[in-house]
Structure 1
Amino acid sequence: MRLQADRTNVAIFECFSSESRLRIIELLNERPMNIKELADAVGLSSAIVTKHVQKMEEAGLLVTESIAGKRGMQKLCRLALDELTLVLKRGPAAGERPASANRYEVSLPVGQYSSCAVKPTCGLASEHGMIGMVDDPRYFSDPEHVKASHLWFGSGFVEYRIPNYLLRNQTALSLDISLEICSEAPGFNENWPSDISFYVNDRLLGTWTCPGDFGETRGVYTPEWWINRSQYGLLKTLSVGPTGAYIDGVRLSDVTLDALGLAYGETISFRIAALETARNVGGVTLFGKGFGNYNQDIHVSLTYA
């Protein structure tokens, strides 16, 4: 996540002005913890820790979930972000929107891919149940695949079509794609690196290595019936602008928006791939609404002038 250094983000900056809150972040970096565990580790009362957690949750740094404990319900806390990039100087950096720019946004359900070629382990699920048989790639062509809120594959790709609403006299300035994603291991494996490649209009933006397939703790929005499998992913944002392609503000490549050839009247293709030629062939797992830690589909934002 890119964060502009201005007064609109004071609530986030305040979260880093307290040594106790920084210690909470350090602890949650190791594993999700409940309020009592945090209080014991930080050396504060549960009431004070609860106030810290509330402030950090309001700022979007943490997410909490009420779960059943040994003595009733308890609030489980986990980090909501992997990293923050502080932007001090305004300019045409990736993901930054010029004051004169317009923008349109669309959400693509993870099951509404336009083409695919996948190999096991693989499968599809909606919020209510499985779609087809597990580890059978044929079901990725089943008409029911459009209802999927969760999908996974060991290698291969899925490709989506992003609508292009630009007019002839309009120029694209930046393209941002946000999605919840992780590796794909049989069942799950927290230490399972995967080199995941991203393409727009058949142009490779770059490859990001996901550290694992996360399933040791339940995803905030993952249905109760979904057990012993991937539970949540990492929220990543791809940005393409005039200076190159980035993921969460970290440069992926020199591919600029101009190089993608966004033509009037033509849709934009977006491909997510786990290549069999990669060093770490660890698959892909995607989480949409109703699964994972972020209740969103693949969110696309295009700014233009």
Structure 2
Amino acid sequence: MLRTNTDRKWLPLYEALASDVRLHILELISVNPMNVKELASALGLSSAIVTMHTKKLEKGGLIRTELVRRGGGTHKICSLALSRVELTLPQGESQARDFQEVSVPVGHYSRFDVHPTCGLATLEKIIGQYDDPRYFHEPERMYAKILWFSRGFVEYRIPNYVLPSQALEEIEISLEIGSEAPGVRADWPSDIHFYLNDTLLGVWTSPGDSGEGRGKLTPSWWTVNQYGWLKVIRITAAGTFIDGQRLSDVTLQDIVMARNEWQLKLAVPEDAVHIGGLTIYGEGFGNYNQDIVFRTYRSTSGG
């Protein structure tokens, strides 16, 4: 996910979106990456016109192009570079919200207890071997962009940048996750538990492990779990919400704040009703080009 605002640096992106043809191109390649000739045929336009539009989309960061060998020739294939863009509009001074954002790679966990099936991978290769929890200690794990396990937990320590002079208003956590099924199965429920500073925020039941098609970002050599679901968890003074729906009655006041850090734990415990495992997709895997994003919104006390 890309977060933008009204800064002039985003003009190429907004200009890229300001065209019916370019929006149609985005729709087409979201289904299947295509070359310029294929797009021209689908749109009923010349290749020269389509090339102009794809250059604008690429300049705006919405698509990427790569040379691919196919059918005995080399083709410049267009595919989506983003799956979601969030625009924050200017707000009045009284509504301004200060926030700190930390992006945590999936391999930067501080503690774990995982059970096979399990493993980790970088964008290029598996780390160690499949189904051997010892490799979760491997120093190369810091470069992992995907990890999975059938039950257990991983815990991340995230710096707490909220100052004593600031009042915490909201915590937002976004990440792409899914179950860990044998092979790929759409119907493989898993009760994924979210903890913050040892407080259970709630449980979300993942419906399965992708199910059909490839992840938009997943490397071509990867053949199993392809993508998950982008879940956005918000902890406020009114409760905890996931994708806008109430997850629990846990509020900010229920979480014991540590001075220097937050401890985020993702777990599938052995006493869960549905023990379907957990896959965490980081930047370069799945459908959302991001790691675990942790935001704290705060205001100055006494405003």
Q: 1:160 aligns with which of 144, 156, 162?
A: 156
Opposite residue 203 of structure 1, the aligned amino acid is: L
**Bigger CA drift: 163-172 or 134-143?**
134-143
Change (3 A) 1:241 1:57: farther
Between the aligned residues of both structures, percent identity stands at 39
Q: TM-score, normalised by structure 2?
A: 0.72
**Bigger CA drift: 287-296 or 64-73?**
287-296
1:246 deviates by: 4.6
Change (3 A) 1:73 1:137: same
**Bigger CA drift: 72-81 or 233-242?**
233-242
The secondary structure found in structure 1 opposite 2:120 is strand
Aligned-partner Cα distance in 1 for 2:146–2:222: 13
Q: Considering only aligned residues, what root-mean-square deviation do their CA atoms show, in Å? A: 4.2
The 8 Å contact of residues 215 and 228 in structure 1, kept in 2 or not, is answered as no
Q: Which runs of no fewer than 5 residues in structure 1 stay unpaired?
A: 92-96
Matches within 5 A, 1:246-265: 246-247=241-242, 250-253=244-247, 255=249, 258-265=252-259
Residue 47 of structure 2 corresponds to: 46
Aligned-partner Cα distance in 2 for 1:165–1:60: 30
Between structure 1 and structure 2, the one with the greater Rg is 2
Aligned-partner Cα distance in 1 for 2:141–2:224: 19
1:111 deviates by: 1.6
The 8 Å contact of residues 29 and 78 in structure 2, kept in 1 or not, is answered as no
The answer as to 2:135 corresponding to 1:139 is yes
Residue 82 of structure 2 corresponds to: 80
Change (3 A) 1:99 1:114: same
The 8 Å contact of residues 106 and 299 in structure 1, kept in 2 or not, is answered as yes
The 8 Å contact of residues 170 and 252 in structure 2, kept in 1 or not, is answered as no
The secondary structure found in structure 2 opposite 1:175 is strand
- Give deviations 1:198-232, integer Å, cap 9, x for gaps: 3323232552646643785476474x7x4323455
Q: 2:222 aligns with which of 227, 233, 240?
A: 227
Aligned-partner Cα distance in 2 for 1:46–1:167: 56
Aligned-partner Cα distance in 2 for 1:210–1:80: 24
Change (3 A) 1:243 1:98: farther
The 8 Å contact of residues 214 and 233 in structure 1, kept in 2 or not, is answered as no
Opposite residue 80 of structure 1, the aligned amino acid is: L
The secondary structure found in structure 1 opposite 2:166 is coil
1:108 deviates by: 2.2
Residue 114 of structure 1 corresponds to: 110
1:259 deviates by: 3.7
1:5 deviates by: 9.2
Aligned-partner Cα distance in 1 for 2:6–2:161: 31
Residue 285 of structure 1 corresponds to: 279
Aligned-partner Cα distance in 1 for 2:12–2:237: 30
Change (3 A) 1:208 1:16: farther
Q: 1:204 aligns with which of 201, 206, 210?
A: 201
Change (3 A) 1:139 1:57: same
1:152 deviates by: 1.3
Change (3 A) 1:185 1:65: farther
Residue 124 of structure 1 corresponds to: 120
Q: TM-score, normalised by structure 1?
A: 0.71
**Bigger CA drift: 283-292 or 69-78?**
283-292
The secondary structure found in structure 2 opposite 1:122 is strand
State the aligned residue count.
Answer: 294
The 8 Å contact of residues 149 and 180 in structure 2, kept in 1 or not, is answered as yes
The answer as to 2:235 corresponding to 1:240 is yes
The answer as to 2:261 corresponding to 1:267 is yes
Change (3 A) 1:287 1:65: farther
The 8 Å contact of residues 183 and 283 in structure 1, kept in 2 or not, is answered as yes
The secondary structure found in structure 2 opposite 1:228 is coil
1:122 deviates by: 1.3
